[in-house]
Amino acid sequence: MIITDFLENNARQFPDDVALVEINPTEKETRRMTWRDYELVEPTLRAPYYRREITWRVFDEKANRFANALTARGIGKGDKVAILLMNCIEWLPIYFGILKTGALAVPLNFRYAASEITYCLGLAEADALVFGPEFIGRVEEIADTISKNRLLIYAGSNCPSFAEDYTDMTAECSSVYRTADLTEDDDGAIYFSSGTTGFPKAILHAHRALVHSCRVEQAHHSQTRDDVFLCIPPLYHTGAKMHWFGSLLTGSKAVILKGTSPETILRAASEEHCSIVWLLVPWAQDILAALDSGKLKLSDYDLKNWRLMHIGAQPVPKSLIRRWKEYFPHHDYDTNYGLSESIGPGAVHLGVENVHKVGAIGKAGFGWETRITDAEGNEVVRGEVGELLLRGPGVMKCYYNDEAATAATLRGEWLCTGDMAMEDEDGFIFLVDRKKDVIITGGENLYPVQIEDFLSAHQKIKDVAVIGLPDTRLGEIAVAVIELKEGVACTEEEIMEFCQNLPRYKRPRKLIFAKVPRNPTGKIEKPKLRQIYGGERLVAAQNNG
């Protein structure tokens, strides 16, 4: 079985059931439209509406039309098609259309700058790029470079001259497609991650890993056809998509929400009768703050169907879950741990029955095995700290075009996570620290070297180190320790003004003017900086996992 089989089965068994709903609160609510309606309006009116929906049959037909369009342009088995889209109802049909041809889907982070898009397209050897209206400026900047031997496809209104229009290229295509002859061992997708250097790595996954993620999600959260999943995080990320895979396996409805305000989340959960909602820590904290202040009242919403709240992508404070249960005592709670190299969440899983163990990431997930080893690869005894290793059907095949990184990360069938962990007397795993210096802020990874390289270009800066420090809302924030050149004066305002050229999410949240310590080999002593400026708060945050 391959991942597209699930979609085709749903189209046959539940053709008229709603598969996907898109809610966009930023657009004026004019009338509720299905995708069928959306296609029949005049082209000048083809803009996102507040709410759109498609059935499983239309979902599959859309994927088939795009597959036919790609095939007509020479895209087939083994080729790669990158996706650069904000969350929208077109995202998943495009993804599955790519997979039906036998090509690999290559999702890109929508925060990538133009240079990062170019780098990732080259690393993955992408043959095509599908992009949306939010990215016209970035793609136009690099169009002359990336369009050489590469197809550019625009999904939106007012197609730019350097790209082909997605709507036009699929309009006359057949809604029937014979999926390429594939097995679970065939390549299915490339996702991007980064190591401590900050340079993205291309993670190659087989269809076997994609299929396993479906089974993991359903096994962990007991999804049925009656469930409705509220999907808020970006679909380019393995976390969001692989949680949605539980809906794919069961043929149940999912709601793609564009917006993260407390009112938006509660309204969507209420109006769409959502039963499963995956949140990041900042969103959960914002909801609690709005309820505490009286800005929002639970009595204004119909949330009786909401049965499960789960959080991933960053450590979860125990106090947050305690407060959540005060407002939502009937909610089950779960957290998941995973990496893009292990096809996203679920390799380690707390379990709804183990809320008393909040702070742990849990035990090995469905179909997964875990080990905690020392530097020599020997398993440590319970209570001792070592590196967490994973084994299971969801482990990546390799880092594409990077044999050295693959060899450093895969130890036979075992994936070395780079995360330091310990196992308690009950077998629950707690994260202790990360070997890598990646900063996780609001569920997103920041790579210090990239920020350090940028700041080093400032004429008044002699040396700079970027570290992550605990933050009650975001989990961590990026803090820049700046050593100025001798005899010069500089203000925080000057540095922050300089940082306006950085993407907003990469800008440091705090500046500290101080000497940057380096060891005899020239490496920045970041543990020392974290100890100096994080102190007891950092230790407490790490112990809470």
Residue 403 lies in a domain: no
Report the amino acid identity of residue 27: E
> Domain containing 468: what range?
439-543
| Tokens matching residue 97 | 């259309």
Residue 205 lies in a domain: yes
Residues above pLDDT 90, as percent of the chain: 63
What is the pLDDT confidence band of residue 307, given thresholds at 50, 70 and 90? very high
CA distance linking residue 182 with residue 529, whole number of Å: 51
| Tokens matching residue 239 | 């976390």
CA distance linking residue 470 with residue 530, whole number of Å: 10
Range with the lowest mean pLDDT among 75-89, 106-120, 234-248, 446-460? 446-460
What is the pLDDT confidence band of residue 526, given thresholds at 50, 70 and 90? confident
Residue 431 pLDDT exceeds 90: no
Helices (H), 276-331: 281-293, 318-327
Position 220 scores a pLDDT of: 94
**Nearest alpha-carbon partner for 96 in 4, 179, 187:** 4
Position 545 scores a pLDDT of: 33
Residue 313 lies in a domain: no
Q: Which residues contact 311 (CB under 8 A, 6 or more apart)?
A: 278, 279, 280, 281, 284, 333, 335
Residue 427 lies in a domain: no
Largest CA distance in the chain: 74
**Nearest alpha-carbon partner for 362 in 381, 337, 332, 343:** 337
Position 436 scores a pLDDT of: 65
What is the pLDDT confidence band of residue 381, given thresholds at 50, 70 and 90? very high
Q: pLDDT for 513-524, tens place per residue?
A: 999 887 544 467
Last residue of a domain, one of 224, 244, 264: 244
* Per-residue CA distances from 321 to 251, 336, 357 (Å): 30, 14, 11
Mean pLDDT value across residues 464-479:
89
Residue 409 lies in a domain: no
Residue 144 lies in a domain: yes
Position 544 scores a pLDDT of: 35
Number of domains in the chain: 2
| Tokens matching residue 246 | 């539980």
Q: Are 423 and 227 in contact (CB under 8 A)?
A: no
Residue 20 pLDDT exceeds 80: yes
Residue 30 lies in a domain: yes
Q: pLDDT for 234-263, tens place per residue?
A: 899 888 888 999 999 999 999 999 888 999
Residue 333 lies in a domain: no
Position 214 scores a pLDDT of: 95
* β 128-131/151-154 pair status: parallel
Q: pLDDT for 186-241, tens place per residue?
A: 999 999 985 434 578 999 999 999 999 999 999 999 999 999 999 998 899 888 88
Residue 543 pLDDT exceeds 50: no
CATH of the domain at 170: 3.40.50.12780
Position 189 scores a pLDDT of: 98
**Nearest alpha-carbon partner for 69 in 100, 34, 36:** 100
The pLDDT mean for the chain works out to 88
Last residue of a domain, one of 176, 211, 244: 244
Q: Which residues contact 376 (CB under 8 A, 6 or more apart)?
A: none
Position 313 scores a pLDDT of: 63
Residue 415 pLDDT exceeds 80: yes
Residue 382 pLDDT exceeds 70: yes
Position 527 scores a pLDDT of: 80
Mean pLDDT value across residues 506-518:
90
Last residue of a domain, one of 244, 277, 293: 244
Range with the lowest mean pLDDT among 136-140, 368-372, 529-533? 529-533
CATH of the domain at 450: 3.30.300.30
